[in-house]
Structure 1
Amino acid sequence: MAALLKDKGTVTFEEKWPTMRPTVLKLLRQECVSRSEWQDLFWAVHKVCLWDEKGPPKVQKALQDDILDFISHAQARVLDQHENQALLKAYITEWRKFFQQCSYLPLPFNQLESALAGKTTTSVSKKVQNDDAIVRKLMLDSWNASIFSNIKQRLQDSAMKLLVIGVRESYVNLSSNSGDKLQIYTENFEKAYIEATKAFYRVKAPQYLEANGVQNYMKYAEMKLREEEQRGEKYLESFSGSLQNLNECCVEVLVTTFRDTILAECPQMIKNNETDKLKLMFKLMSRVPDGIQPMLDAMEEHIVSAGLADMVAAADTITQDSEQYVEKLLDLFQRFSRLVSEAFDEDPHFLTARDKAYKQVVNDTQVFKLELPSKTKGIGNKTQPESKCPELLANYCDMLLRKTPLSKKLTADEIESKLKDVLLVLKYVSNKDVFMRYHKAHLTRRLILDTSADSEKEENMVEWLREVGMPADYVNKLARMFQDIKVSEDLNQQFKETIRTTTKSSVADNLNIKILNAGAWARGSDRVAVSLPMELEDFIPEVEDFYRKKHSGRKLQWHHHMSNGTITFTNNVGRFDLDVTTFQMAVMFAWNQRPHDKISFDNLRLATELPDPELRRAGWSLVAFPKMKRQVLSMSVEVTSPKEFTENTLFWVNQEFAPIKNGKPQKRGKVNLIGRLQLSTEKSKEEDNEGIVQLRILRTQEAIVKILKMRKEDFQRSAADRVGGDAEEHVPPQQEVN
């Protein structure tokens, strides 16, 4: 034991350091170190730190002196350079050499760190070297205190001018702060880099704007933002947030500072459809908080003003032709959509603004106006005027789905495309219930008159209406109408077979009876009394008896205003087949037994038993049918509307009636006098209007009730939570019962 203590005392710092120091100096100078020298250094440090109690502090002090001496020589070599580029190059060379040794020199001194911290040999064996090793920290702190702090201002100024990557690396790796490895880099290099960039553009940007104007300045700003981003990726630390800070700085000095000046050009650019310039402005303003809002407002205002101006300018054309009206709306939508796509890359904010503005155009009442009279108490006689757009859309759909010159010249794919366009516009219509009302009326007319161009397209249209979110109750009624037509065809065929053996079989073959569901097709008030020709009156009991046998308990109601037929008309010119409504037929049959008599309006009322409004309408269609040069009936006075008929106005059969072809009257032919079959009476129209108004009121009330219920439930829930919380706070502690 005594011998061991004696040996321990013989190993001292003074004995070992002279053998250790040459190897330490070689490592600092990056000179070649042999394997034996490397291993001897490990062993010497171990013995001094373990056997000499005063050895570790002495080793640390001696090591620090040599490091400082090495750094002082490096500093001298750097400061010998007077040019910025040479200074940076010398600094980078010395720093990289020194930093490389920061990874090797601390390795043999692991035992020193343990000895200074009071750790045992066992704990040393388990230690893993890291960047916080005492020797590494000593080296970095010495470099920072001796060379970096003295010349960092020159380094920063030179680095900002020459942007040398090596300088940045020294800033990044120099920090010995374990909590923030980038502290020195952030506080010095990044800050100086950003400040220099900001100072540069604060001078250059206003000069360029004043000299070149806003539009050229936008190109300049975009180019500089891109250049600074690329430069930052090269010279700044990518994981430190420096790029974001640099980008915010550049946006502030290049864009935000001139935000109002740039945006002042936006309305004119939109008006001139300068999409490339708008796209550039959008890219710049999207970087600025709330920068695109003025652009959204400008585009919205342009769409409303330009759209309405176009509609007013074309009012003379589109008010007379629903096809032209819809085409104009679609042209506007495509134009505005193209603007959003090309200038703003279909940004959701601009799509929303387009939709909002286009909806104003579609529902505007400057060109077209529709009023829905209301008798509801407290509302007044009339509601607010509405757009007539839904009615015109329904008319256009009717032109595409009915046998018309338009539908005949279009292919099936073209018709489908145009119907989809109508549905696109329909999405922006506020009063969709009005569209459904007119669309149903047109569909009813097409199904009754059998004038549909394509039955498959008809049924597809119903499904498309369902897909675009039209009210389910409306769409279900349309679907039911198709089912009724198919069922009615079967019943009609069975009825004809039933009476084929009777004496009326020849007449029955010409009958086409449609038995329809009243709830889907018409209102009960649509029924109008009329005196039918005897040939038709005879079949009514037989049809009712036939249907009663088929369906017990069901009741038939005859809707003559929805009926039509063909009569043979003979006069001095020739013989013609006239397609007429039931009401027109009743009027014409008043002359069946007296073709040359003159009959007053009052006597026609007695003969036909038609209500006054319906008689006036039917009589006017026979004396002033559009596009007919020679009318079926003549009258004693010239009037401009059916309201001017008096009780004594006389009517008689025009013996010179004939269709004109190539300027010559024809002796034979078929003439369609039905025109737009009137499917509703004045009373039913009022009921339809009242129904729409009432339904809107009910839906508004329903929405209000739902909101109130939701608020009540939220209030009750929050109150229950508060009561529950108070109860928990005042619950007495439970007592243990023995």
Structure 2
Amino acid sequence: MLKEKGQLKFEDKWPNMRPIVLKLLKQEPVSPGEWQDLFYDVHLVCLWDEKGPAKLKDYLQEDIVQFIKQAQIRVLAQREEQALLKAYIAEWRKFFTQCNYLPTPFRQLENTLLGKSGTSTLLSGNAKKGQADESIVRKLMLDSWNVSIFSDIKHRLQESAMKLVHAERNGEAFDSQLVIGVRESYVNLCSNPNDKMQIYRENFESAYIKSTEMFYRVKAPDYLAKNGVQAYMKYADSKLREEEARAQKYLEAGSNAVIQSCVDVLVGKNLSVLLAECAPLTKAGETDRLQLMFRLLERVPDGVQPMLMELEQHITLAGLADMIAAADVITQDSEKYVERLLELFRKFSTLVHKAFNDDPRFLTARDKAFKAVVNDTNVFRLELNTGKNPGPKTVAPESKCPELLANYCDMLLRRTPLSKRLTTEEIESRLRDVLLVLKYVSNKDVFMRYHKAHLTRRLILDASADSEKEEDMVEWLREVGMPADYVNKLARMFQDIKVSEDLNCLFRTSTARHDAINIKILNAGAWARGSERVTVSLPVELEDYIPEVEEFYKKKHSGRKLQWYHHMSNGTITFMNEVGKFDLDVTTFQMAVLFAWNQRPRDKVSYENLRLATELPDAELRRTLWSLVAFPKLKRQLLLLSPAVSGSKDFTEHTLFWINQNFSLIKNGKPQRRGKVNLIGRLQLSTERSQLEDNQSIVQLRILRTQEAIIKILKMRKRITNAALQTELVDILKNMFLPSKKMIKEQLEWLIEHKYMKRDDDDINTFIYMA
């Protein structure tokens, strides 16, 4: 029968409870009966003695501290480091195991001390360990260990553990579990629920970092002085890898501070020495050593920034030097030029791949530098002076690269010796290479202008090597981001050619002279290039066809007006002289000039009379005559002249021209009696003023595009700062050209003047859209 409250005293029960508590502390066997009795006695003391719980806690703490003191004596009895650590770890692990069992019978004590109501159920011997995780008794045990033993010997423990790690760094062997065991005690000792790692971090980790720094502060400078920078980089890299592996073994997961301290000592302190090696290694292409340097410097904040700058500078200088050195070759041959650029790109890409693992930052540096090489004006310069055109009178010189790329595309797509010796797959590969280089070109609109001119020539002359590749190229240009209106015009050109083929079939069935003419009805919006129409007096044989063609077309498409572009036309004439008979492919202008001798083949005709007969403008007549008196591929020219001149500009009104009756094709040193020669060359589709008009139209279109983009941005934003406007403007226009600051400023002023926009009254750097 239970006694009344107050009659049962703590002192009555403690003598029976204490031997069981001591047995549990010492890990001695406890019978099930003793285990149950302890539960029951704790329950009674907490229930019937008001002062019992506090006394029970105090007496329990006294026995725990006493046990810990005895453990401390056993640990300190060891003099040698490894023996000390072994003894401490053995005592600690035994004690820590009991931290999970001893609190179990004292659950009622904890409930009472915490002021929990109700009566605790007596727990059996199979109570779960998890129930003691946050218990007062467990905290009492850990805190007692911390105060009684750990505080006294922790410095000696840390020193002993760090000596073992130091020995390992010097290549000596020992039982790593000794260091791991010490670390575990630091981690498990902390009873702070908000920061379980506090004791570990403030003591063990701090000591580990300090010892590591001290070790490498001595070793690193000595190794660098004795072995040089390149050997030191290997040493630093291997030591950092070692320390990372060591940290995984001896430190808690997520302890990155020690690696950062190693980086500071091994790399940070020697950063300037390492970076001094960057330029020579980059120049020499030492990819393995650069990769090693990259691995080291990447660990330092902003450490790779100087390497990025060095790579960019190297690519720019090396690329420009290479292009200037090869200027004599590449200025004469667009194929050689493009191949040189591609060779440089592959070389620099290989460097970035092998040395920097295609890191996006280094790929960006490569792209920026290669863009500078592609758009450089030292070797090739394109002047876009606009003459009397309204707007800016001069424009900064640009790279001629887009023109040369377009020329190279033309060589691949036209029937040329180059395209004939390549397979379809090789041509496609080279066209893709052109698109790769085009990505770095700033003035892409110039490329599109020349590409369209070459495409026009190929389609008019039916000179394409592969019509399928022609159409593929248009789609590839669309894929790489060329402006849609440019690409759509190219696609329309193919459509016009196909429609013209059908019209030709119909026209040939309506005329008896069906083989003599091939008409191409083209859309002026897609094909025309400014005011290029040139007057010319056509031979009667051609004049007869014009009304017939116009009448036929009106029947098919009423209301449409035809305009004849004679400079875009060509034909084949048969030429006979004393040597033989030859077929000549000529432009309409060449035909008009040659037909001046059709009725008088042996006469000498003056320049002035030829001008009257052909009605050609002076500039076009000079170019056409020069192509007939000095065609580079002919050893015997079609026309002769007197007096001799060095260029077409030297022709005077009285210069005489006549047919060369000894004209023939020379093969193996012998004149041929039959043959065919193409006298068109690059003359077709270009007029004297085309170049100036092209330059004018390029600049004028850029002005319009810039104005259009500014208004588009302002319509969307309503108000915007100058800096933000320029950023968005460049982003919109970058696939066509990069507008200069001067051009942007001029167009902003023009739009303000014409009331499309205005400046903010309070901030002149802010623009407001005016609807």
User: What TM-score range do you get, normalising by the shorter chain?
Assistant: over 0.9
* 2-structure distance, mates of 1:572, 1:120: 133
- Contact 1:110/1:124 (8 A) holds in 2: no
| Structure 1 pair 43–418 and aligned structure 2 pair: CA distance change class (3 A) | same
Partner of 1:720: none
Question: What is the correspondence of 1:29-428 to structure 2 with a 5 Å cutoff?
Answer: 29-122=26-119, 129-163=131-165, 164-238=179-253, 241-242=254-255, 244-375=256-387, 381-428=393-440
* 2-structure distance, mates of 1:251, 1:705: 53
- Contact 1:445/1:677 (8 A) holds in 2: no
Give 1:545's aligned amino acid.
E
Per-residue CA deviations over 1:318-370 (Å, capped at 9, x if unaligned) read: 11111000000000111111111111111111111111110110011111111
- 1:515 is the counterpart of 2:521: yes
* 2-structure distance, mates of 1:125, 1:655: 132
Partner of 1:599: 605
Give the length in aligned residue pairs: 703
Secondary structure of the 2:697 match is helix
- 1:641 is the counterpart of 2:641: no
Per-residue CA deviations over 1:159-183 (Å, capped at 9, x if unaligned) read: 1122511111111111122222221
* 1-structure distance, mates of 2:45, 2:277: 79
* 1-structure distance, mates of 2:545, 2:138: 115
* 1-structure distance, mates of 2:545, 2:715: 57
- 1:567 is the counterpart of 2:579: no
Name which of structure 1's ranges 703-712 and 547-556 shifts more when overlaid on structure 2: 703-712
Secondary structure of the 2:619 match is helix
Name which of structure 1's ranges 9-18 and 96-105 shifts more when overlaid on structure 2: 9-18
**2:489 counterpart (477, 480, 487):** 477
Q: Which runs of 5+ in 1 are unaligned?
A: 716-738
Give 1:26's aligned amino acid.
K
TM-score by length of 2: 0.89
The structural deviation recorded for 1:80 is 0.5
Secondary structure of the 1:568 match is strand
* 2-structure distance, mates of 1:709, 1:565: 52
* 2-structure distance, mates of 1:626, 1:699: 41
* 2-structure distance, mates of 1:401, 1:4: 110
- 1:548 is the counterpart of 2:554: yes
- 1:454 is the counterpart of 2:471: no
Partner of 2:746: none
| Structure 1 pair 327–118 and aligned structure 2 pair: CA distance change class (3 A) | closer
Give 2:423's aligned amino acid.
T
Secondary structure of the 2:11 match is helix
- 1:588 is the counterpart of 2:590: no
The structural deviation recorded for 1:99 is 0.8
The structural deviation recorded for 1:10 is 5.3
- 1:614 is the counterpart of 2:625: no
Partner of 2:681: 675
Name which of structure 1's ranges 558-567 and 128-137 shifts more when overlaid on structure 2: 128-137
* 2-structure distance, mates of 1:291, 1:54: 66
Partner of 2:748: none
Give 1:110's aligned amino acid.
R
Secondary structure of the 1:569 match is strand
Secondary structure of the 1:281 match is helix
The structural deviation recorded for 1:449 is 0.9
Per-residue CA deviations over 1:167-214 (Å, capped at 9, x if unaligned) read: 111111111222222211111111111111111111111111111111
Partner of 2:168: none
- 1:626 is the counterpart of 2:660: no
* 2-structure distance, mates of 1:512, 1:480: 20
- Contact 2:530/2:693 (8 A) holds in 1: no
| Structure 1 pair 513–712 and aligned structure 2 pair: CA distance change class (3 A) | closer
* 2-structure distance, mates of 1:623, 1:685: 23
- Contact 1:114/1:124 (8 A) holds in 2: no
The structural deviation recorded for 1:602 is 0.5
The structural deviation recorded for 1:703 is 4.0
- Contact 1:485/1:516 (8 A) holds in 2: yes
| Structure 1 pair 9–521 and aligned structure 2 pair: CA distance change class (3 A) | closer
| Structure 1 pair 475–378 and aligned structure 2 pair: CA distance change class (3 A) | closer
TM-score by length of 1: 0.92
The structural deviation recorded for 1:116 is 2.9
| Structure 1 pair 658–376 and aligned structure 2 pair: CA distance change class (3 A) | closer
- 1:538 is the counterpart of 2:544: yes
| Structure 1 pair 371–524 and aligned structure 2 pair: CA distance change class (3 A) | closer
Give 2:556's aligned amino acid.
K
- Contact 1:113/1:134 (8 A) holds in 2: yes
| Structure 1 pair 39–124 and aligned structure 2 pair: CA distance change class (3 A) | closer
Secondary structure of the 1:578 match is strand
Name which of structure 1's ranges 60-69 and 561-570 shifts more when overlaid on structure 2: 60-69
* 1-structure distance, mates of 2:2, 2:103: 30
| Structure 1 pair 256–70 and aligned structure 2 pair: CA distance change class (3 A) | same
Give 1:11's aligned amino acid.
L
Structure with greater helix share of residues: 1
- Contact 1:562/1:677 (8 A) holds in 2: no
Name which of structure 1's ranges 125-134 and 346-355 shifts more when overlaid on structure 2: 125-134
